[in-house]
C-alpha cells in the first residue's frame, strides 16, 4: 500500500484533517469553473436565446431554429486510446499538477480510475461543493431545473463526442465508477445523455478531509486493537505475519477460524497493520439487534435466513450496508474484518468477495463449503499464549523490576487472554483501585479479568462468586495437597502442555479435569469453590436437570453448548453428582442401553478436546466409568472426618457466630459423627434458635442441632449425650 492507512482505532473516529485536503478540492473547482465558463461562453456565442430569462423553461420558434441549425458544438479534440481526451487548450477538468494533500488523484491511482473517471467525479461533485455551479449546469443542460451534471455535460466538458463508445462505457453500471459506489447514474428512464449524475455525500466528505464513516454504517463498525502496544502484546502469532506477507502482495478474502473469542480479531488486526492497511471492524447485525439466530447457531433456516434470501432476490445488500462498507474501505485504503457472522453467512461472503479490498472473516464455526461458491482462504488461528508478566506490567504502567505489592505472575497466570483484552482488564483494574482509593491489588485484577470472561454459561449452570479461601477447608494433608496441585495445573497448563509440548496429541485440549469423590457433606463443592477463588475465577455448577433430556441426542447437544461456552470462558465448571451423566457403560440389552452408551462415548471424546477446567463430584466413585477416570488429571478422595477434624470443623463454622462465653463444641465433635455439611446445618439450626431468643448460641443449642442432623440421617440418638 502506498497511501497512509487510517488507523483501526479511528473507526468510528471524530472528524479530523490531514494537511488541508479541502483547499486542494477548492483549487480543482477553480480550474473546473474556468473550463465550464469557457463552455458556457462558447454556447452563448451562437445562441439567440442566451439572454432570455425564461430560457430552459420553454422552446421558442427561434430556439427551435437554432437547434435545427446546430448539429453539434464543433469538432472535439482527438482522443487517447483509453477514451480520455488528449491535451487541449487550457487545463483538464481534474486540474493539475496534483498537490500532496490532494486526495482525488491518490484515490484514482488506488482504484485504477482513468482521467475521464476522475473528471466525471469532480464535475458531478461540483454543485455539492459550490452552489455557483448550479445555474451554469442548468444553462448547459438547457433546463434551469436540472442543476446537476449529466452524462452529456461531462462529455461536453471533457471535449468528447457523444458517440464515443469507450467514453459512454465509463458510465455503465458495471464500470468502475458505478461498481465501486463512487458515482450514481440516476433517472434510467431518460435518454442516456440526459441522465443525472450524483456522487455520494461520503465521497465529497472524504475529499474534504472528513473521516467520519458513512451514516449507514452506524452501529455496524466497532474499534479493533490498533495501538502498537496492543498489537505487540498479543503479537497475533506467526500466522498473522505470514498472512501479512500475502496481503502485502495482493488483497485476499480469508476466513479465520478462532478457538477462543478474540484470537481471530487479534490475528486479523495484526496482519492488516503489518501489511500497511487500516482496518474496519464490521459486525453484520448492529448492537441491540438480532438476525433471528441464536449466537453461533448453524442449523435450520430461521427468520434471518429468509430475510437474507429475500434481500438477495431483490438485489438488496444482505446483512447490512455492504455497498457502503466496501466504499468506505476503498476511500480509506483499509481492509475489512468481519466478526459475529449471521447464521447463514453465504450471501455476506459472496457480497464481500472482491478483488481490490482485503476482507478477513472471523468466527468459531468451521467453514462450510455450502455457504458460498466463492471460497475464501480458510485458516485456523493458532492458540495464542496468555500474556506474560511483562505484558501485564506494561498495560498497568508498572516497571517489571518493581514490586507491585502482590505476586503479579501468580495472579494473572490462570487467565488465557492476550492482546487488547489485557489492556482492557488493566484499565478496569486501575479504575476499580481508583474508585476504592487504594493501591492496585490482586483482587482488582481478578475482578477485572472475570468481568471480561462473563459468559453465557448461566443459561445452563448456576454461577457462584467464590468468597472462601484455603483456611475454610478442614481436610487431611493428602487431599489438601492434591487440591493445591490442581490449582498449579490450572495456572501453568499453557506452558507445560503448549510451550513444552507435553500434550498427548490426537487433538487433545489443554484442559484440567479432576474428580472429587466422597460422602455427602465431606467438602467436595466447597473445595471446588476454594480452587476457583484461588485462581480468581467464577465457579459454574452445572444443573443436570437442565441438560438431561428424554429425547435422543438432546442431552449431547445441551452438553456441547456447555463445553463450547466453557472453552471460551475463564471459569471453573463443576458437574455435581456427575455419575448421573458420567456413569458406567453397560451391556446393550435394548435401545435405552445403546443410547445411554452413546452419551457416554460422546462425553469421553468431548472431555479429551476440552480446554477449560472441569471438576466432577460423586458420592460413589465406583459408579464412574473407568474410561472417564483414565482421562482425569486428578482423583481426590474426601474421607469422612475423624473426631479431631470434626472439632476443627465445629470451631471453624462458629468463628463468626455469637456464642456464650466458654462454649466448647468438643462433646458434639466426639459423640456425633457428622460430616462438614451436616455440622454446618447443625450450627445453622442452633443459630436460628438463639436469634429467636435474642441471645448468644449456647451449648444446648449446638446439642439440639446435632441431634436433629442425626435424626435426619436416620441414626440413633443417645439420650445420655449432654452438653
Alpha-carbon gap, residue 105 to 27, rounded angstroms: 13
Alpha-carbon gap, residue 514 to 629, rounded angstroms: 9
Indicate if 633 and 652 belong to the same structural domain: no
pLDDT in tens, 33-67: 999 888 888 877 766 666 666 665 555 555 555 54
Indicate if 220 and 173 belong to the same structural domain: no
Find the mean pLDDT for residues 624-653: 91
Indicate if 221 and 203 belong to the same structural domain: no
Distance of CA 323 to the CA centre of its chain: 21
Ranges 194-203, 619-628, 658-667: which has the least confidence: 619-628
Q: Looking at residue 647, what is its pLDDT?
A: 95
Is residue 463 assigned to a domain? no
In a 10 Å sphere around its CB, with 0-12 CB exposed, 13-18 middle and 19+ buried, how is residue 564 labelled? middle
Which of 601, 621, 638 is where one domain is finished?
638
pLDDT in tens, 461-494: 889 999 999 999 999 999 999 999 999 999 988 8
The full 3-state SS of 510-570, as one line of letters, equals: CCEEEEEEECCCCCHHHHHHHHHHHHCCEEEEECHHHHCCCCCCHHHHHHHHHHHHHHCCC
Indicate if 126 and 200 belong to the same structural domain: yes
Distance of CA 403 to the CA centre of its chain: 35
Which of 591, 616, 638 is where one domain is finished?
638
Banded pLDDT at 718 (limits 50, 70, 90):
low
Q: Looking at residue 127, what is its pLDDT?
A: 95
Find the mean pLDDT for residues 549-567: 83
Alpha-carbon gap, residue 307 to 584, rounded angstroms: 47
Inform me whether the pLDDT recorded for 247 exceeds 60: yes
Return the percentage of the chain with pLDDT > 90, whole number: 47
Q: Looking at residue 300, what is its pLDDT?
A: 37
Alpha-carbon gap, residue 648 to 475, rounded angstroms: 10
Inform me whether the pLDDT recorded for 307 exceeds 80: no
CATH of the domain at 272: 3.40.50
Indicate if 206 and 164 belong to the same structural domain: yes
Which segments of 397-456 does DSSP mark as H helices, in order? 408-412, 420-436, 442-452
Is residue 718 assigned to a domain? no
Indicate if 707 and 608 belong to the same structural domain: no
Q: Looking at residue 123, what is its pLDDT?
A: 96
Alpha-carbon gap, residue 227 to 443, rounded angstroms: 27
Give backbone dihedrals phi and psi of 5, rounded to 5 degrees, phi first: -75, 155
Is residue 176 assigned to a domain? yes
User: 3-state class of 282 per DSSP?
Assistant: strand
pLDDT in tens, 254-272: 999 987 777 888 889 989 9
Is residue 184 assigned to a domain? yes
Indicate if 508 and 481 belong to the same structural domain: yes
Q: Looking at residue 111, what is its pLDDT?
A: 93
Banded pLDDT at 16 (limits 50, 70, 90):
very low
Q: Looking at residue 579, what is its pLDDT?
A: 79
Cell 484455603 sits at which residue? 470
Inform me whether the pLDDT recorded for 252 exceeds 60: yes
Indicate if 698 and 601 belong to the same structural domain: no
Inform me whether the pLDDT recorded for 590 exceeds 90: no
Which of 638, 667, 690 is where one domain is finished?
638
pLDDT in tens, 119-149: 999 999 999 999 989 988 988 888 878 889 9
CATH of the domain at 543: 3.40.50.300
Residues in the chain: 723
Quote the pTM value.
0.71
Banded pLDDT at 296 (limits 50, 70, 90):
very low
Tell me the pLDDT of the chain averaged across its residues: 81
Which range marks the domain in which residue 403 is found?
389-452
Inform me whether the pLDDT recorded for 227 exceeds 90: no
CA distances from 627 to 507, 583, 584, 585, 611 (A): 18, 10, 9, 9, 19
pLDDT in tens, 665-698: 999 999 999 999 999 999 999 999 999 999 999 9
Banded pLDDT at 640 (limits 50, 70, 90):
very high
Indicate if 314 and 225 belong to the same structural domain: yes
Number of domains composing the chain: 5
Q: Looking at residue 87, what is its pLDDT?
A: 39
Is residue 9 assigned to a domain? no
The answer to whether the CB of 472 falls within 8 A of the CB of 534 is no
Amino acid at each position: 500500500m502506498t497511501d497512509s492507512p487510517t488507523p483501526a482505532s479511528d473507526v468510528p473516529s471524530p472528524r479530523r484533517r490531514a494537511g488541508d485536503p479541502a483547499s486542494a478540492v477548492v483549487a480543482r473547482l477553480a480550474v473546473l469553473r474556468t473550463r465550464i465558463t469557457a463552455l458556457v461562453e462558447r454556447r452563448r456565442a451562437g445562441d439567440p436565446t442566451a439572454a432570455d430569462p425564461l430560457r430552459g423553461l420553454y422552446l421558442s420558434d427561434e430556439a427551435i431554429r437554432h437547434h435545427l441549425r446546430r448539429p453539434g458544438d464543433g469538432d472535439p479534440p482527438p482522443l487517447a486510446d483509453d477514451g480520455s481526451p488528449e491535451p487541449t487548450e487550457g487545463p483538464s477538468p481534474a486540474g493539475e499538477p496534483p498537490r500532496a494533500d490532494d486526495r482525488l488523484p491518490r484515490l484514482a491511482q488506488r482504484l485504477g480510475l482513468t482521467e475521464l473517471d476522475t473528471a466525471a467525479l469532480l464535475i458531478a461533485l461540483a454543485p455539492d461543493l459550490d452552489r455557483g455551479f448550479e445555474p451554469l449546469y442548468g444553462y448547459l443542460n438547457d433546463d434551469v431545473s436540472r442543476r446537476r451534471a449529466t452524462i452529456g455535460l461531462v462529455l461536453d466538458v471533457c471535449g468528447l463526442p457523444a458517440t464515443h463508445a469507450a467514453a459512454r462505457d465509463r458510465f455503465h453500471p458495471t464500470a468502475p465508477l458505478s461498481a465501486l459506489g463512487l458515482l450514481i447514474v440516476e433517472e434510467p428512464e431518460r435518454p442516456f445523455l440526459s441522465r443525472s449524475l450524483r456522487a455520494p455525500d461520503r465521497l465529497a466528505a472524504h475529499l474534504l478531509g472528513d473521516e467520519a464513516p458513512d451514516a449507514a454504517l452506524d452501529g455496524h463498525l466497532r474499534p479493533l486493537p490498533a495501538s502498537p502496544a496492543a498489537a505487540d502484546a498479543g503479537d497475533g502469532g506467526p500466522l498473522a505475519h505470514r498472512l501479512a506477507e500475502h496481503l502485502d502482495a495482493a488483497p485476499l478474502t480469508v476466513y479465520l477460524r478462532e478457538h477462543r473469542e478474540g484470537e481471530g480479531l487479534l490475528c486479523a488486526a495484526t496482519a492488516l497493520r503489518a501489511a500497511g492497511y487500516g482496518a474496519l471492524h464490521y459486525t453484520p447485525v448492529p448492537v441491540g439487534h438480532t438476525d433471528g439466530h441464536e449466537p453461533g447457531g448453524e442449523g435450520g433456516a430461521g427468520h434471518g435466513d429468509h430475510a437474507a434470501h429475500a434481500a438477495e432476490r431483490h438485489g438488496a445488500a444482505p446483512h447490512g450496508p455492504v455497498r457502503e462498507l466496501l466504499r468506505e474501505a476503498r476511500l480509506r485504503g483499509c481492509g475489512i474484518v468481519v466478526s459475529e457472522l449471521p447464521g447463514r453467512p453465504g450471501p455476506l461472503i459472496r457480497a464481500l468477495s472482491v478483488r481490490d479490498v482485503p476482507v478477513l472473516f472471523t468466527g468459531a464455526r468451521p467453514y462450510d463449503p455450502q455457504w458460498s461458491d466463492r471460497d475464501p482462504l480458510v485458516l485456523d488461528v493458532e492458540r495464542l499464549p496468555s500474556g506474560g508478566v511483562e505484558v501485564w506490567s506494561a498495560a498497568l504502567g508498572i516497571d517489571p523490576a518493581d514490586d507491585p505489592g502482590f505476586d503479579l505472575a501468580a495472579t494473572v497466570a490462570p487467565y488465557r487472554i492476550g492482546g487488547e483484552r489485557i489492556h482492557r482488564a488493566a484499565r478496569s483494574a486501575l479504575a476499580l483501585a481508583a474508585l476504592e482509593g487504594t493501591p492496585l491489588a490482586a483482587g482488582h485484577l481478578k475482578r477485572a479479568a472475570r468481568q471480561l470472561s462473563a459468559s453465557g454459561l448461566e443459561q445452563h449452570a448456576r454461577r457462584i462468586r467464590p468468597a472462601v479461601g484455603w483456611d475454610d477447608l478442614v481436610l487431611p494433608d493428602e487431599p489438601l495437597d492434591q487440591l493445591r496441585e490442581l490449582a498449579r495445573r490450572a495456572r501453568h497448563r499453557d506452558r507445560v502442555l503448549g510451550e513444552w509440548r507435553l500434550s498427548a496429541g490426537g487433538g487433545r485440549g489443554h484442559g484440567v479435569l479432576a474428580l472429587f469423590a466422597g460422602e455427602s457433606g465431606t467438602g467436595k463443592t466447597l473445595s471446588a469453590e476454594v480452587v476457583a477463588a484461588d485462581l480468581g475465577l467464577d465457579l459454574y455448577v452445572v444443573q443436570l436437570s437442565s441438560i438431561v433430556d428424554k429425547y435422543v441426542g438432546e442431552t449431547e447437544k445441551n452438553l456441547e453448548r456447555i463445553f463450547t461456552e466453557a472453552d471460551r470462558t475463564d471459569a471453573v465448571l463443576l458437574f455435581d453428582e456427575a455419575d448421573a451423566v458420567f456413569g458406567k457403560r453397560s451391556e446393550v440389552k435394548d435401545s435405552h442401553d445403546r443410547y445411554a452408551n452413546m452419551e457416554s462415548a460422546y462425553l469421553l471424546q468431548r472431555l479429551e478436546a476440552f480446554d477449560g477446567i472441569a471438576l466432577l463430584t460423586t458420592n460413589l466413585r465406583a459408579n464412574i466409568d473407568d474410561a472417564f477416570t483414565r482421562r482425569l488429571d486428578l482423583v481426590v478422595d474426601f474421607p469422612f472426618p475423624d473426631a479431631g477434624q470434626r472439632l476443627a470443623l465445629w470451631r471453624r463454622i462458629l468463628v463468626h457466630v455469637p456464642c456464650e462465653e466458654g462454649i466448647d463444641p468438643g462433646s458434639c465433635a466426639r459423640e456425633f459423627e457428622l460430616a462438614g455439611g451436616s455440622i454446618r446445618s447443625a450450627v445453622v439450626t442452633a443459630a436460628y434458635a438463639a436469634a429467636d431468643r435474642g441471645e448468644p448460641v449456647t451449648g444446648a443449642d449446638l446439642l439440639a442441632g446435632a441431634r436433629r442432623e442425626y435424626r435426619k440421617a436416620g441414626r440413633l440418638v443417645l439420650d445420655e449425650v449432654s452438653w
